[in-house]
Structure 1
């Protein structure tokens, strides 16, 4: 399938972004629908087991954040879209096998899925996207730390690492997400088979 003209794609995305208000803008990987439902059920069981009070993240909002584009200029967002379009890589698998709480603000600690060995290809993919962003002049967003995770809920309480049956899925693409009272996918880039 031919790639869209990046300039036209950028204005299409910006029109959708502007018409829907402000909010956060970021690249993310989304689990497929069946995996998202499985993660949601697992999160529900763990919420009960850990006696969390926080609200579960809805299945359609579960994601792995890659890079934040919030606060970038229109020109920089265009460059980020060009970098995403330039990226050429194959599908890859991710596997999360533990949960833990991250540090957060008081009463707002993220409870997340994490992993290690099953996320090496994800780490490589993110490095490739970072290199593409850097080639387009976007060093600031590309130079951020990365701990791959899927946030399940936020809670006042925190817990230590806890093993879970691995949650595995094949990553077939990534999306540009606008987050404001929900997630809106502004654009999707597919990986090669």
Structure 2
């Protein structure tokens, strides 16, 4: 179901809007504990991402605007697929800005259904008038923290969960969910 955020436009022009999937609370806590252990093992100094902010970004929509919110809602209503599992089996640092490198969970074979779902959602965004948004590259990941140091790819015990919904998140001094759509066939 979509929750209207039209009243928030005037007060949140600097807010950023994106579509994402999020782990369930128990998995988010498990990821957070793993991130804490890896932070210490790799001697990283960055602040851990809070469990309630862990997510897989699907599409960055940009600054909040009525156009993006409406198109995202329209696209979300078109998507039909059953829940699916995602699995991450490695950690690594992405390039990022110097001094601000994302340390992330990554995987390959355990993310194919997610990649397929994203293509489906991208096609729906294109039909809803957001072709520019939907033509972006995608490396599925969950950011654990940002740090000045870079860490090479490292295998981990797989972290997995079942994706049962996708969400519209407004990011501005925290994350606020402004749309939730359950996956269904």
Task: Give TM-score, length-normalised by structure 1.
Answer: 0.91
User: 2:184 is matched with which residue?
Assistant: 192
Q: Distance in 1 between matches of 2:165 and 2:85?
A: 11
Structure 2: runs of 5 or more not aligned:
none
**Equivalent residue number for residue 80 of structure 2:** 88
1:75 aligns with 2:72: no
1:92-122 deviation line (CA, Å, top 9, x unaligned): 0000000000001110000000000000000
In 2: Cα distance, 1:19 partner to 1:186 partner: 15
Q: Distance in 2 between matches of 1:40 and 1:18?
A: 34
Long gaps (5+) in structure 1: none
Hey, what's the Cα distance between the residues in 2 that align with 1:86 and 1:18? 28
Instruction: Using the TM superposition, give the Cα deviation of residue 187 of structure 1 relative to its aligned residue in structure 2, in angstroms.
Output: 1.1
Corresponding residue number in structure 1 for 2:155 = 163
Alignment length, in residue pairs?
A: 185
Q: Which residue of 1 aligns with 2:28?
A: 36
**How far has the Cα of 1:81 moved from its partner?**
1.1
Alpha-carbon distance between aligned partners in 1 of 2:10 and 2:167, rounded to the nearest angstrom: 17
Alignment RMSD (CA, Å):
1.6
- Superposition map of 1:85-124 within 5 A: 85-124=77-116
Classify the secondary structure of the residue corresponding to 1:94: strand
Structure with the bigger percentage of helix: 1
Please name the residue that 1:61 is paired with: 53
Contact 1:17 1:186 in 2 (8 A): no
Write out the 4+ residue segments of structure 1 that deviate beyond 4 Å after TM superposition: 16-21
Instruction: Note closer, same or farther for the CA distance 1:182–1:76 as it changes in structure 2 (3 Å cut).
Output: closer
Q: 1:74 to 1:123 in 2, by over 3 A?
A: same
Distance 1:37 1:17 in 2: 32
Specify which of 11, 15, 39 is matched with residue 23 of structure 1.
Answer: 15
Residue in 1 that maps onto 2:166? 174
